[in-house]
């Protein structure tokens, strides 16, 4: 891989230079959201200062400019995901909305009594609850796919659970709590043998390694901009063109129609049919800037850097008395979920916060995954491309001090 310097990348993030509780910020809560480079912040500022307009409808210069920028964002997302065409990309608020869109649109027409939706125990609540809701309405079943002790999807159980009843497999490309990266391509190929569709939740994956939806052969792929150095409120859903073409609109309103009459309303072609109302135009501009920023790096070099940092962090954390990492999948992103003997996870997060170190404590919206380990709550440090080994050292030093202070 080419050269990558986290120190250089950090220079683009104004927020990484602030202090918290009198200490330099150490942001290790990237699984919750990533920070934004100045290129994104400046793109938002430039848009709202000089280019703000609604799109599509207006017959004026700025409406045309905004439309072009919005559609350039769609094309950039398509390139980023390796999608065959920009028309296979639907803008949404984020991963949660993408999953709900598929459940409410595709699910309503393709699920029925006796049908199965396979969902690994690993999943984020946003890739469980929308399926439970649509299953209840359509009388389909949500079937959990168990995990191994390491926190990988049990591949034998998965193969056993697949059947001609399976309509959908919904799984994450990377777990937000264990970091596990399952063999999505192989699992997708297997699901397709049964005629099932596959939805991949890429919320945690996209910032950590390059994604190619054509190679995965995924039917749906969802991600959130805010976990990818872009603003909150914008995300994308990729759907295979032939699948998307057959999907009914899930919300009605402006922008998504061809013509409206009280007698008969017809809809616009996809993807616009799926984007009712005014979208987050500024968010798309910010996402475009984030993709440009990320695209300025050698992605393989970034992944290699993160892998090195992860290995370093695992070794360093192992030296903290009483610390146990949760999950041990060999293939995983830089997510370190842990328990500390004698400490409540919320107390650990509080202690670290006093040292300016931001981690997350709680159930991480993945209660079944934690329950697999007999836990209700855990602490999680999640790393991004701008984190450094010095920051890991600070985390470890602060945790050691906590253990010493508690005797």
Near ligand PMP by CB under 6 A: residue from 36, 74, 124, 272 = 124
Which one among 37, 94, 271, 283 touches ligand PMP, defined by CB under 6 A?
94
Scan for tokens 């210069």, then name that residue. Answer: 61
Chain-centre distance for alpha carbon 213: 14
C-beta of 190 vs 365, nearer to ligand PMP = 365
Residues 214-243 that bind ligand PMP (CB under 6 A): 224, 226
Which residues inside 1-30 make contact with ligand PMP, applying CB under 6 A? none
Residues 6+ apart with CB under 8 A from 212: 81, 82
How far apart CA 226 and CA 207 sit, in angstroms, is 10
**Long-range contacts at 160-163 (CB < 8 A, ≥ 24 apart):** 161/116, 161/118, 162/118, 162/190, 162/191, 162/193, 162/194, 162/196, 163/116, 163/194
Compute the least distance from the CB of residue 136 to ligand PMP, in Å.
Answer: 21
CA 345 to chain CA mean position, Å: 23
Nearest residue (CB) to ligand PMP, 74 versus 364: 364
CB nearer to ligand PMP: give 204 or 387. 204
271 scored as a contact of ligand PMP (CB under 6 A)? no
Annotated active-site residue 365? The verdict is yes
Report the nearest approach of ligand PMP to the CB of residue 31 (Å).
Answer: 6
E strands present in 295-334: 323-325
In the Cβ-directed half-sphere of 209, how many Cα atoms lie within 13 Å? Answer: 15
Compute the least distance from the CB of residue 94 to ligand PMP, in Å.
3
Q: Which stretch binds ligand PMP (CB under 6 A): 47-55, 120-128, 136-144, 307-315?
A: 120-128
- For position 201 contacting ligand PMP by CB under 6 A, the verdict is yes
CA dist 63 and 113 (Å) reads 47
* Smallest distance, ligand PMP to C-beta of residue 114, A: 28
Side-chain-side CA neighbours of residue 206 (13 Å): 33
Determine the interface stretch with ligand PMP among 16-24, 133-141, 191-199, 200-208 (rule: CB under 6 A).
200-208
**Interatomic CA distance for residues 4 and 20, integer angstroms:** 27
CB 226 to ligand PMP: min, Å: 6
Q: Based on CB atoms, which residue is closest to ligand PMP, 124 or 208?
A: 124
Q: Does the protein bind ligand PMP through residue 95 (CB under 6 A)?
A: yes
Q: How far is CA 211 from CA 13, 204, 303, 391, in A?
A: 24, 11, 12, 28
Q: If you count DSSP H runs as helices and E runs as strands, how many of each does the chain have, helices first?
A: 15, 17
Q: Nearest Cα to 198, choosing from 139, 126, 130, 117?
A: 117
Closest CB to ligand PMP among residues 94, 231: 94
> What is the nearest approach in angstroms of ligand PMP to the Cβ of residue 207?
11
- Asked if 382 interacts with ligand PMP (CB under 6 A), we say no
d(CA 211, CA 205): 8
Give yes or no for a contact between 363 and 172, defined as CB atoms under 8 angstroms apart.
no
The residue among 100 and 343 lying less far from ligand PMP, judged by its C-beta, is 100
Nearer CB in complex with ligand PMP: 35/224 = 224
What is the rounded CA–CA span in Å between residue 340 and residue 320? 9
Residues 161-180, one symbol each (x = binds ligand PMP by CB under 6 A, - = not), give -----------x---x----
Three-state DSSP at 327 gives coil
- For ligand PMP, the binding residues in 338-357 under the rule CB under 6 A are none
Q: How far is the CB of 204 from ligand PMP (least distance, A)?
A: 5
Number of residues this chain uses to bind ligand PMP (CB under 6 A) = 14
Length of the chain: 407
**How far apart, in Å, do the first and last CA atoms of the chain sit?**
45
Catalytic one of 75, 143, 365, 397 = 365
Q: Which residues are the active-site residues?
A: 365
Binding interface with ligand PMP (CB under 6 A): 94-96, 124, 126-127, 172, 176, 201, 203-204, 224, 226, 365
């Amino acid at each position: 891989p080419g050269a990558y310097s986290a120190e250089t990348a950090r220079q683009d993030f104004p927020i990484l230079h602030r202090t918290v509780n009198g200490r330099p910020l150490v942001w290790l809560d990237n699984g919750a959201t990533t920070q934004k480079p100045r290129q994104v912040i400046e793109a938002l500022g430039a848009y709202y200062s000089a280019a703000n307009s609604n799109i599509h409808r207006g017959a004026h210069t700025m409406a045309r400019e905004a439309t072009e920028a919005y559609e350039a964002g769609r094309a950039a997302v398509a390139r980023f995901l390796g999608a065959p065409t920009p028309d296979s990309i639907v803008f949404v608020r984020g991963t949660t909305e993408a999953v709900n869109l598929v459940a409410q649109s595709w699910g309503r027409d393709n699920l029925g009594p006796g049908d199965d939706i396979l969902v690994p125990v690993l999943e984020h609540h946003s890739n469980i609850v929308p399926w439970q809701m649509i299953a209840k309405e359509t009388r389909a079943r949500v079937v959990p796919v168990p995990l191994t002790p390491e926190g990988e999807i049990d591949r034998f159980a998965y193969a056993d659970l697949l059947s001609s009843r399976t309509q959908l497999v919904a799984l994450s490309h990377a777990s937000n709590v264990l970091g596990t990266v399952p063999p999505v391509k192989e699992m997708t190929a297997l699901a397709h043998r049964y005629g099932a569709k596959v939805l991949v939740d890429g919320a945690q994956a996209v910032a950590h390694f390059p994604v190619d939806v054509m190679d995965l052969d995924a039917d749906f792929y969802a991600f959130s901009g805010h976990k990818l150095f872009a603003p909150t409120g914008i995300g994308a859903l990729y759907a295979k063109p032939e699948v998307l073409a057959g999907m009914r609109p899930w919300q009605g309103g402006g922008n998504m129609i061809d013509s409206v009459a009280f007698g008969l309303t017809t809809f616009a072609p996809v993807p616009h049919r799926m984007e009712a109302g005014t979208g987050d135009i500024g968010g798309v501009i910010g996402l475009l800037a984030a993709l440009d920023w990320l695209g300025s790096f050698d992605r393989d070099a970034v992944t290699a850097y993160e892998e090195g940092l992860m290995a370093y962090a695992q070794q360093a954390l192992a030296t903290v008395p009483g610390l146990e990492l949760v999950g041990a999948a060999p293939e995983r992103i830089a997510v370190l979920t842990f328990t500390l003997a004698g400490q409540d996870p919320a107390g650990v997060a509080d202690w670290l916060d006093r040292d300016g170190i931001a981690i997350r404590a709680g159930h991480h919206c993945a209660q079944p995954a934690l329950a697999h380990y007999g836990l209700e709550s855990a602490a999680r440090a999640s790393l991004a491309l701008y984190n450094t080994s010095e920051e890991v050292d600070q985390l470890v030093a602060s945790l050691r001090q906590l253990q010493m202070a508690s005797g």
